[in-house]
Amino acid sequence: MSITPATDDTMAKIVALCKRRGIIFQSSEMYGGINGFWDYGPVGVPLRRAVEQLWWRYMVEERDNVEGLDSTIICHPEVWNASGHLAQFSDSMTDCLACKKRYRVDQLENPGVCPSCGSKQMTEPREFNLMMKTFVGPVFDEEHAAYLRAETCQPIFVDFNTVRIATRQKLPFGIAQTGKAFRNEINPRFFTFRSREFMQMEMEFFCHEDESMEWFEYWRQERWNFYTKVLGLPENKFRIYWHEKLAHYAKAALDIEFEFPFGWGEIEGVHHRGTWDMQRHAEFSKQEKDCKYFDQDKKDSYFPTVVETSCGLDRICLMLLCNGYDEDTADTQKEGMDEDVRIVLRLPAKVAPVQAAILPLSKKLEEPARSVYTAVRKKLRAAYDDTGSIGKRYRRQDEIGTPFCITFDFDSVDDNAVTVRERDSMTQERIPISGLNAYLADKIDP
């Protein structure tokens, strides 16, 4: 991953829009905020949920060989000993003594020089552990220390055998879960890109060592398709970064990166984890049988090899916001004004917070317009807005990425049809109310 400092103000505009429209904003803002924590507002929640649902459908519900799990955020502290997090999950950081900025050593081109002020007064790298610590029970001492999970995958390894027995799955098969993860990041930045509390969506695929590279290739392709086909984002905004330095147990590892306004950043990792996790949990729990798989046909018992796909839900949402943010001035320019900027969020219709907005041309049309709204809302995320001029209402919807605006006018009462305006093409089409849901469904998921 290579992140370069922001060269334009696109990020500042996105952050401002997100706050103004209730998409994402700083947590505890009235107390001055807390660095690395973000709240999702009424428009952000449906976006994040829709992306999560899309992932779940694609990774779990549409497959026979992946099962779902929802484990607790706090688990037995030994889990994090076994995983190596307590000993090794740290970032090597260096400080600039001149401008006081702090950096992750692995993200600096030249760790001896400050990228901000050019000073060569950089401190020796120091290790910072990223685990968030808490206490379970009434006594706040080391014996009662516990940790908020730093990744969602460890409980998957721990629950492997319970899930396998319950579902009668044979290898190869996967277990997926989505949920919160916590990291005491030293340098939270780039809006939600590096947060301290964030959502992960991970899938651990258990297979035999001999087949593991074929599965690695398979999942690499599947995950690429998720971004470019399921979400439909442009291929040229993505690239694959192959890790050169691999953990001793891994055969391959890559990051899928997206081109953010601040540079290329990791969205997802696809990792070959060998038998490392299962072996470590066997060693630490002393429950080897729960960490091994017995192949009935071959009468062979072995530690499964794991291929992992691991992505950050908040980073995907940020990617969608960055990819979708657009400004145009063309057809909104008014007389006497130099420029009248229209902000449009070109979000994929599948995950847009509001997929269709019903806009009656007059408040007098409320009753029939609301009945259209009720019908559309049964199938889609919909909104109803009758305040302000139609132009202002279009603008409000454009800003939150609504792909379809439906105007109900005086003719609608007679011809039982409405006008559908598409956000991106700005074309308007007259559609019979009876066929509206089918028309929208086809446009949203062709």
Check binding of 185 to ligand ATP (CB under 6 A): yes
Q: SS3 for the chain, per residue?
A: CEECCCCCCHHHHHHHHHHHCCCEEECCHHHCCCCCCEEECCCHHHHHHHHHHHHHHHHHHCCCCEEECCCCCECCCHHHHHCCHHHHCEEEEEEECCCCCEEEHHHCCCCCCCCCCCCCCECCCEEEECCEEEECCCCCCHHHEEEECCCCCHHHHHCHHHHHHHHCCCCCEEEEEEEEEECCCCCCECCCCECCEEEEEEEEEEECHHHHHHHHHHHHHHHHHHHHHHCCCCHHHEEEEECCCCCCCCCCEEEEEEEECCEEEEEEEEEEEECHHHHHHHHHHCCHHHHCEEECCCCEEECCEEEEEEEEHHHHHHHHHHHHEEEECCCCCCCCCCCCCEEEECCCCCCCCCCEEEEECCHHHHHHHHHHHHHHHHHCCEEECCCCCHHHHHHHHHHCCCCEEEEECHHHHHHCEEEEEECCCCCEEEEEHHHHHHHHHHHHCC
Quick one: 249 or 439, whose CB is closer to ligand ATP? 249
Least Å distance, CB 377 to ligand ATP, is 32
Check binding of 194 to ligand ATP (CB under 6 A): yes
Q: What part of residues 361-390 is at the interface with ligand ATP (CB under 6 A)?
A: none
- Closest residue by beta carbon to ligand ATP: 312
Interface characters, 314-333, with ligand ATP (x: CB under 6 A): xx------------------
Check binding of 198 to ligand ATP (CB under 6 A): yes
Interface region with ligand ATP, contact rule CB under 6 A, candidates 78-86, 263-271, 358-366, 376-384: 263-271
Least Å distance, CB 24 to ligand ATP, is 12
Interface region with ligand ATP, contact rule CB under 6 A, candidates 64-72, 306-314, 395-403, 408-416: 306-314
Least Å distance, CB 77 to ligand ATP, is 19
Among 154, 177, 200, 323, binds ligand ATP (CB under 6 A): 200
Least Å distance, CB 351 to ligand ATP, is 17
Interface region with ligand ATP, contact rule CB under 6 A, candidates 9-17, 309-317, 375-383, 394-402: 309-317
Residues that bind ligand ATP (rule: CB under 6 A) add up to a total of 17
Check binding of 269 to ligand ATP (CB under 6 A): yes
Interface region with ligand ATP, contact rule CB under 6 A, candidates 92-100, 228-236, 261-269, 409-417: 261-269
Quick one: 313 or 349, whose CB is closer to ligand ATP? 313
Quick one: 130 or 375, whose CB is closer to ligand ATP? 130
Least Å distance, CB 397 to ligand ATP, is 29
Query: Where does this chain bind ligand ATP (CB under 6 A)?
Result: 1, 151, 183, 185, 194-195, 198, 200, 266-269, 310-312, 314-315
